[in-house]
Amino acid sequence: MDIHEYQAKDLLTRFGVQVPRGGIAYSPEQAVYRASELSGDKWVVKAQIHSGARGKAGGVRICSSEEEVSDAATWMLGRKLVTHQTGPQGKLVSRLYVEEATSIAQEIYLGFVMDRKLERVVVVASAQGGMEIEEISEQEPESIIRSVVDPAVGMQAFQAREIAFSLGLEPPLIAQAVKTIMGCYRLMAEMDANMVEVNPMVVTQAGEIVALDAKVSFDDNALFRRPEIAELRDKSQEDTRETYAEDRGLSYIGLDGEIGCIVNGAGLAMATLDMIKMSGGEPANFLDVGGGASPERVLKSFKAVLNDPNVEAILVNIFAGINRCDWIAEGVVLAMKELDLTLPVVVRLSGTNVEEGRKVLDDSGLPVITADTLAEAADSVVGAWKDAKFKEAS
């Protein structure tokens, strides 16, 4: 789960990390009020969306008057910002963060990520801040600093000092840098975060270290014990298809194709996506219906798949162990009747109660296409989809 910049900064301050003063705004008038509250003669208006590269899309503006603040807020609010991370659909700006401008002497990149291979938290830092870590590693690979944290003892002060010295910071700044690095690690460890990124962390003209921007992502599986973090979720920034499925307890990931998939088991689901591609189709989603799926759960799965307007055919692929094929078949029949489906539906059943499941489908009188193997099912759904497209075009 991602959160907004202003929320990330609020969390960082709780762990001793210094951030610029600022306030949230939902209208141009409120943005101007926030600027007047902060006083000064220069402010930064930032669109709050779950994406990087906002500045390149016009989502970050430096303003020298309250009129400029109002104009920037008017332009951003209600607009869909398109960045290389959002895709062409963009993300809607519904709130802004207005903060005091900072006089920058040096920009630094600082990130904390989970390395799945090492099973450790890894600190990644660079004296070349202000751009994506991918750009830094490509343009200045020698500037990348890495430090692995031992989970048995956590981040140690000596590691933070080593990172600070490696960044070339002046001696008077080392203590501040150590406090910032340790604070970021504590946030990650104590709040079940998957990533904490401060980019840039800046040295100001006044000789202070400040987190100028921040991005924090959390482990969805730990939210049950972090209700204060779960409350920070902004569903308007998420894929509506995935939000709909997640709220109904389904494991779903939206893709860009036309063939919806309802499968049990993550491994079989991945294999199903591959087979659809090999047969010449494009999968519209990954969906794991889970073990012991009832007919009602299958109906929910159909609704989740059909929540994507691009879906033009559906493949149900079940290898039943804990599941029962007759329950799945009953769910398919229930979905087709209740949702009045006219698009092609291909069902491949195997495993527990497979004969009973096939009988349910045969006795339903519905135009369900059945298959015995995954390869046959993939070929059938792609062929049925192409036939439907041809008929529609004709």
Distances (CA, A) of 277 to 167, 258, 280, 291, 324: 46, 11, 5, 25, 27
Distances (CA, A) of 194 to 216, 223, 286: 8, 12, 22
Q: Which of 5, 6, 197, 312 is catalytic?
A: 197
Decide if 41 contacts 121 (C-beta within 8 A): no
46 annotated among ligand-binding-site residues = yes
Which one, of 311, 317, 259, lies nearest residue 288 by Cα? 317
285 annotated among ligand-binding-site residues = no
Residue with tokens 């340790």: 182
199 annotated among ligand-binding-site residues = yes
37 is catalytic: no
310 annotated among ligand-binding-site residues = no
197 is catalytic: yes
The DSSP output letter for 110 is E
Which one, of 49, 51, 57, lies nearest residue 97 by Cα? 49
Distances (CA, A) of 167 to 107, 124, 136, 214: 10, 11, 14, 19
For residues 66 and 64, what is the distance between their CA atoms, to the nearest angstrom?
A: 7
For residues 69 and 88, what is the distance between their CA atoms, to the nearest angstrom?
A: 27
Q: Which of 109, 185, 244, 252 is catalytic?
A: 109
Q: 237-250 burial, b for 16+ CB within 10 Å, e for fewer?
A: bbbebbbbbbeeeb
Cis peptide before 283 (omega within 30 of 0): no
102 annotated among ligand-binding-site residues = yes
Q: Which helix (H) or strand (E) holds 141?
A: none
Q: Can you say which residues are annotated as belonging to the binding site for Mg(2+)?
A: 199, 213
As annotated, the active-site residues are 109, 197
Q: Can you say which residues are annotated as belonging to the binding site?
A: 46, 99, 102, 107, 199, 213, 264
Q: Can you say which residues are annotated as belonging to the binding site for ATP?
A: 46, 99, 102, 107
